[in-house]
Amino acid sequence: MPNMNSKCKVFLIFLLVLFFSSPPVFSLSPAPALETCRSNRLQQGLESCLRDLQLDKSVARKKLSIALVDITDPDHPLLAEVNGDRMMYAASLPKIAILLGAYEQIANGELELDSAIEDKLTRMIRNSSNRAATEMLNKVGKSYLAELLQSPKYRLYDPAYNGGLWVGKDYGKAGAWKRDPLANLSHGATAFQVARFYYLLETGQLVSPEMSLEMKAKLSQPAIQHKFVKGLKSRPEAVIYRKSGSWRQYHADSAIIEHDGRRYIVVALAEDAQGGAWLSRLIAKLDDLILQSPSS
């Protein structure tokens, strides 16, 4: 887009996403705090799915954390979780925090969304490029990002909820800059706080409604076909906005999924060599659970 400044580009992208995506869920009323929206029915359904998959023992050993949120009615989300506040190594999943930091700076006029930055952000999310993530982390600033995640505005890393999203290291061979204060992780997350990230995104509360739509567009069309994407391969009508992570025995996936008029958030963090296979089987079960459940 020659001769077009970054604000014009963002607005144009916003209009395109608005036109081609499902209807936005932004509400005029304040969105509720997600932690107040626990659903006994959805919790029972989640635990039943885990028993059916024989993953309940892994939950008991704290090797698997899950947050599931039905946001079909975004003003009345329904939350279920197991080990939701357990801080776990999340590999590339916390790159979503770098995305947030970049768009905060774009909105504040501190970073220009030119074609090079847009390409890096897209590759960082869709292809999980470590090089692009490291370049963007250093451009945004590690200290800036850590302060943003802990800020009262977002509380995406909050000691009251045992931490949350944390990026304390480049995605390369360099040593950690600053590990998270509670669990000493370089790239960490809790399932609940990642679910909060997606809920804030879906309700237009990350940066602004326009920027939230642009960030959601970056999460579309995932290039890596494993975990949640693999598990939903037989359901091509399901639309997925997603960021995953893998390193050794650590497997993570997170997504907003739109399917047959239903919307839901699912986040899963696993510590097991078979964790990727767990998540592929899990997402199919949870998709069935949401589609068969009454909306709020």
User: Within a 13 Å sphere around the CA of 2, how many CA atoms are in the beta-carbon half?
Assistant: 0
The rounded distance, in Å, linking the Cα atoms of 285 and 74 is 22
Name the β-bridge partners of 93.
Answer: none
Q: Quick one: pLDDT at residue 290?
A: 98
- Residue 9: φ, ψ to 5°: -65, -45
Q: Quick one: pLDDT at residue 281?
A: 98
Give, to the nearest 10 degrees, the angle between helix 142-150 and helix 95-107.
90
Largest CA distance in the chain: 58
| Averaged pLDDT, groups of 10, the chain, 296 residues long | 48 45 52 94 98 98 98 97 98 98 98 97 98 98 98 97 97 95 98 98 98 98 97 97 98 98 98 98 98 81
Q: Quick one: pLDDT at residue 17?
A: 45
Give, to the nearest 10 degrees, the angle between helix 209-218 and helix 115-126.
60
Q: Are 272 and 110 in contact (CB under 8 A)?
A: no
Q: Quick one: pLDDT at residue 264?
A: 98
Q: Quick one: pLDDT at residue 240?
A: 98
Question: Could you tell me the domains of the chain?
Answer: 32-292 (3.40.710.10)
Eight-class DSSP state of 63: -
Residue appearing with tokens 């076909």 = 225
**DSSP-derived secondary structure for 194-243:** HHHHHHHHHTT-SS-HHHHHHHHHHTSS-S---THHHHTTT-TT-EEEEE
User: Residue 173 CB: number of other CB atoms within 10 A?
Assistant: 6
Which helix H or strand E contains 136, and what residues bound it?
helix 130-140
Q: Quick one: pLDDT at residue 294?
A: 83
Q: Quick one: pLDDT at residue 31?
A: 82
Q: Quick one: pLDDT at residue 5?
A: 55
